[in-house]
Amino acid sequence: MNKDEMNKACRLLNDLISIYSPYFKEHEISEFVYRRMMDIGANPVKQEVTEARDYNYKCANVISTLNFDKAETILINAHMDTVYPTEGWTYPPLKGSLVDNEVYGLGSADMKGGLVSLLLTLEECLKRIAEGMEPSFNVVFLASVDEEGPYSMGAKTFIRSKYADNVDFSIVLESTRGLSSSNLSFPAIAHGSRGCYLYEIKVTGKSAHAADPASGANAIDAMAEIISGIKKIPLEKHEPFDDPVSNVIWINGGERALSTPEKCSILVDFHVTPSEDPARLKTRIAEMLRSLNLDAKTEVNYMKDDLGEPMIYNPYLLDRKNRYIDLLAKTCSKREGKVAFVTSMCVGDFNHFAGKGIPTVVLGPDGENLHRADEKVNLADVVKLKDILTELIFWKQLK
C-alpha cells in the first residue's frame, strides 16, 4: 500500500481524534470538516440541526454533493460525534496512537476512521473530475451529527430535507466488524440490521414514612419486579440475525428523604429482529405488567424523539441480489479479492435511512472496542475503503 496515502490518512485521523466531539458537542469538528471540504475544492453546505425541547441543541451536518445529472444517486455517510470517554484507557483517548497498523483513540472506529475514508474519497473524486473523468452516479457526502445521542437528529434532519429525495442507495461507513458478532474481516458488507424499540415504563406507588413502609406502596420495589418480568418477555428470532435482547438502560426514582418512594421510571431498550413489531411488543409489555398484580399504578409508552414521535430504529434486511449491493460486492472483490456479508447486531443512522425506504448497507474499516476503552481502527482498511468507494463511483470508466 502507498506509504504516502497511509501517512496522509493517519495525519487526518489524528486531527479528527484530537477534536473532542461527543454528541451535543460537535461544533468544532463540524467546522473542521466544513473547512477541510472547502480546502480540497468542494462546495459544502452546513445543514442546521436543532432541538429546543430538551437540550437546546444547535449544530450542523456538513454536506457536499457531486451532481452530474445522472439517473442514480448514492449517499455516503459518516457521523462526526463520539460517545463520551469511558474509564480504563491504556492510550490517550484524544490522541491517535499508531501501533502495528492500528490507530487507538476515542471514536477511531466509531467512526472517525470512516469519516477519513469519506473525506479522502471526496478529495479523490474531485481530483479525477478535474482530470476529465465523470462519475457514474450523483453522490451525496454526508458528515452528520448526533448519531450517538438520544434522537439521531443529524440523520433525521437529512432525511426530511431535499438532499434525501433522490437517494437510491446509501453506504454508511461504520466499522462493520465492530457492529457484527462475526469475526469476518474487511471488506464485510452488512446488508441488514437488528432494530431498536425504546419504551418508558412508569410506576406510581404511594408515599409513606420509611419507618412504616407497609402503609405505602414502594415504587422501586414494584419496578424491581417489573425488571425481572421484562427479561421473561419472549422476543421474535429471525435468521440470519443475532438473537433479540432487552436492556434496562436508565432508571430514576425515589429521593433522599426518609420516605417510601412514590415514583420510579425506567427506559427499556429492545434490540429486535425484523419479525418483531413495536405495537405488538408494547402490548406484551402491558400484559406482563398486569400479570404482576402490583400494588401500584403502571404505564408503558414509547420513548419520544425531538419531534414527539416514537423513537424507533427499524430493523431491516436487504436482498443480496440488490443491484447496488451486487455492484459494491463486485468492487470489493475486485479490489481485495474477497467480500463477506454480515448483519449488524447494533443500530445506528443506517436504520433510519433504511426506514425511509433507502436501500442501505454498512461497509467500514475493521475496528474493535467500540464505546469502550482502547477503541481502535485498522488504518490500512481506512485507505482501502477510500479506494473501493472511488472505484464504485467511477465504475463505468474503471471496470
**Helix axes 27-39 and 113-130, enclosed angle (nearest 10):** 20
Q: Which CATH code fits 196-302?
A: 3.30.70.360
**pLDDT attached to residue 100:** 94
List of residues 6+ apart from 75 with CB closer than 8 A: 139, 140, 142, 164, 167, 169, 170, 171, 353, 358
Is the pLDDT score of 398 beyond 80?
A: no
Which residues in 231-352 belong to E strands, given as ranges?
A: 245-253, 263-272, 297-302, 312-313, 316-317, 340-344
Average pLDDT over residues 227-233: 96
Of the chain, the end-to-end C-alpha distance in Å amounts to 21
**Mind listing the pLDDT tens digit for each residue in 29-58?**
999 999 999 999 999 999 999 998 889 999
**pLDDT attached to residue 183:** 84
Average pLDDT over residues 246-251: 96
Which residues in 96-194 belong to E strands, given as ranges?
A: 97-99, 102-104, 138-144, 169-172, 188-193
Average pLDDT over residues 130-152: 96
The pTM of the full predicted model, rounded to 2 decimals, is: 0.94
Q: Helix, strand or coil for residue 375?
A: coil
**pLDDT attached to residue 255:** 84
Average pLDDT over residues 356-372: 96
How would residue 262 be classed by pLDDT, with cut points 50, 70 and 90? very high
**pLDDT attached to residue 256:** 83
d(CA 70, CA 143): 22
Q: Are 108 and 367 in contact (CB under 8 A)?
A: yes
d(CA 106, CA 208): 46
Q: Minimal CA–CA distance to 385: which of 173, 168, 106, 144?
A: 173
Average pLDDT over residues 283-306: 95
d(CA 3, CA 373): 28
The residue written with cell numbers 421473561 in the block is 232
Average pLDDT over residues 358-367: 97
Average pLDDT over residues 56-75: 96
Q: Which residues pair with 76 in a beta bridge?
A: 141, 171
d(CA 239, CA 246): 18
Lookup: cell for 64: 457536499
Q: Domain 3-194+315-398: which topology?
A: Aminopeptidase (3.40.630)
Is the pLDDT score of 399 beyond 50?
A: no
Is the pLDDT score of 352 beyond 80?
A: yes
Q: Are 244 and 188 in contact (CB under 8 A)?
A: no
- Per-domain residue ranges of the chain: 3-194+315-398, 196-302
Q: Which amino acid is at 171?
A: I
The overall average pLDDT reported for the chain is: 95
Is the pLDDT score of 374 beyond 80?
A: yes
DSSP character at residue 215:
G
Average pLDDT over residues 257-285: 96
d(CA 109, CA 105): 8
Q: Which amino acid is at 374?
A: D
**pLDDT attached to residue 29:** 98
Report the b/e string of 357-369 with b at 16+ CB within 10 A: ebbbbbbbbbbbb
d(CA 187, CA 372): 23
Is the pLDDT score of 280 beyond 90?
A: yes
**Helix axes 113-130 and 379-393, enclosed angle (nearest 10):** 40
Is the pLDDT score of 397 beyond 80?
A: no
Q: Which residues pair with 297 in a beta bridge?
A: 204
Is the pLDDT score of 201 beyond 70?
A: yes
**Mind listing the pLDDT tens digit for each residue in 154-188?**
999 999 999 999 999 999 999 999 899 988 899 99
Measured in whole angstroms, the distance separating CA 87 from the mean position of its chain's CA atoms is 22
Share of the chain above pLDDT 70, in %: 99
